Structure 1
Amino acid sequence: MSARDEILARVRAATADVTTPVGARANNRPTGHEVSPGRTRTLDLFAENVADYRAEVLRVPAGEVAATVAEVLRARGLGSVVVPTGLDTGWRTALAEVSTVVTEGEAGSAAELDRVDAVVTACAVGIARTGTIVLDHGPDQGRRELSLVPDTHVCVIRADQVVHDVPEALTRLGAPPHRGRPLTWVSGPSATSDIELERVEGVHGPRTLVVVIAGAIP
C-alpha cells in the first residue's frame, strides 16, 4: 500500500460513522460572523488589540487629526515625512509646519524613501478582533512601498472604518471602491524573532506604528 492509499484509508475509517450528507452539513456551517458587541466595544477592542502589538494608539475627535499627526512627528523629532498624493490637505498643511513634506512622486525609489523619517497614510479597514489595519493603497494611502520603507508609519483610521471581525472586513473589502485593489494587512510594527526568541523590530517594514483613531472620543 502506498503512503497515499494509507492516508486515504485512515480518513475513510475516521469518517465511517458520519451519515449526514455533505450538502446538509454545509447548510449548518457557521458563517464566521459574530454578533457585533456594539460600536463602543468594537472600537475599544480594536484599540486594545492594536496596542497589544506594541503600536501606539491615539483616539481623537475627527477635527483634531491634523494637529495630532503633526504633534506625533514633532514629539519624535521626525524631520521628514512622505505623504500619498490623496492625503487630506489639512493634514499635509499641519505636517509642513513641523517637518519637511515629501510627496509620493518625489520619492520614486526605495532608496529615496529610506532617507525619509516617516510616512502618514489613511487606511481602508480596521479589524477589532485581530488589531489589524488593512490598506488598499487608494489615493490617501499611496503605493505599497510607501508604507513599508520609512521607519515610522502614522496611520489614521476613521471610527466608521473599524469592523468587528475578519469576515466583516472581507465583505467590505470585496465591495466598491475597494474591490480589486492590492491589500496590505498590518498587525503592529514589523517584527521577527530568531531561534532564541530575541525580538527584532523594523526588519520587514516600519519599526514604529502609530494609529490615530479619528472620531473616537477617549
Structure 2
Amino acid sequence: MTSAREVVLARLRAARGPAPAGPAEPPRDYRPAGSLAADVDLLVDRLVDYRATVHRCDDAEVARVVDGVLGGRRIVVPPGLPGRWLPDTVDAVTDDGLGPERLAVLDGVVTGAAVAVAETGTIVLDASPDQGRRVITLLPDVHVCVLRTDQVVAAVPDAIARLDPRRPLTWISGPSATSDIELDRVEGVHGPRNLHVVLVAVPPRP
C-alpha cells in the first residue's frame, strides 16, 4: 500500500526530471574579449594609481632604464636574469642563497615577471630563473620588474590559466604600503617602497 508521502515524493521526482550527471559547468564567456593594447593601457593606469613608476620601451632599451633607476648602486639579481638587461653602472650580485642580512644592505633588485593582470594592476612572479626566490623581492628598497606586453592579460582567471599552481606565486599590486587606523600611509613595511615596471613592447604575432 502506497502512503501519501510516497505519492507526493514520486510526483516531485517526476516533475523535476532526471538528476544531472554531475555539477553544471559555469559559463566562461561572461567577459567580452578585449584587445591587448587596451589591456596594457589599463595595466599602466592601475600601476600609476598604485604609485608605481612605469617605463615603456623596447628590449634594447631595458639596460638604459635600469641605469636610470639603479645606476651606481649595489643590487641583487636572480640567476637567470638576461645579462642584456643590466648596465655596466650597477654592481650586481647574483643570488646564490643570500641570507636576509646580506639582502637587506643591497639597494635594489631587478627581475622578470610571469604574468600581469590589467584589471587589478597586479604583477605575478613564479620563481622562474629570471625572477628568483621570493625573498630577494621583499628586502631591497627598489624593485625593477621587467614585463613584456605579451605577458599582460585582462583578468585574474586569464592569469591563473597561464600559471602553474605548484610554483610559489607572488602577487604584487604596487609598492609595499599599509595604513594605520587613522589611514596614515606607511610605505615599505612588507616589501620595496619603490616599484619600477619596465614595460617592454613586443610586436603582436601575425
TM-score category, normalised to shorter length:
0.7 to 0.9
Partner of 1:44: 41
How many residues are paired up?
Answer: 188
1:212 matched to 2:198 = yes
Residue 77 of structure 2 aligns with an amino acid whose one-letter code is V
Asked if 1:138 corresponds to 2:128, the answer is yes
Residue by residue over 1:53-97, the C-alpha shift from the partner in whole angstroms, topping out at 9 and shown as x without a partner, is 1100111112211221122213xxx611111100001123x1xx2
Distance in 2, matches of 1:61 and 1:99, equals 20
In terms of fraction of residues, the more helix-rich structure is 1
2:151 aligns to what?
161
2:84 paired with 1:87 = no
- TM-score w.r.t. length of structure 2: 0.83
Q: Distance in 2 between matches of 1:58 and 1:22?
A: 56
Q: Structure 1 length normalisation: TM-score? A: 0.79
Give a deviation string over 1:131-179, Cα, whole Å, max 9, x none: 00000011100101010110100000011101010000000103xxxx5
- Percent of residue pairs identical: 49
Unmatched 5+ stretches in structure 2: 1-15
Find the partner of 2:176 among 173, 190, 195: 190
Contact (CA 8 Å) 2:150, 2:202: kept in 1 or not?
A: no
Change (3 A) 1:32 1:122: farther
Alpha-carbon distance between aligned partners in 2 of 1:133 and 1:70, rounded to the nearest angstrom: 22
User: Following superposition of structure 1 onto structure 2, how do residues 41-120 of structure 1 map, counting pairs within 5 Å?
Assistant: 41-74=38-71, 79-92=73-86, 94=87, 97-105=88-96, 108-120=98-110
Opposite residue 47 of structure 2, the aligned amino acid is V
Distance 1:28 1:102, change over 3 A: closer
For residue 108 of structure 1, report the CA deviation from its aligned partner: 1.2
Contact kept? 1:33, 1:167, Cα under 8 Å: no
CA distance in 1, matches of 2:142, 2:29: 34
Instruction: List runs of 5+ in structure 1 lacking aligned partners.
Output: 1-18
Structure 1 segments of 4+ aligned residues over 4 angstroms from their partners: 21-24
CA RMSD in angstroms comes to: 2.4
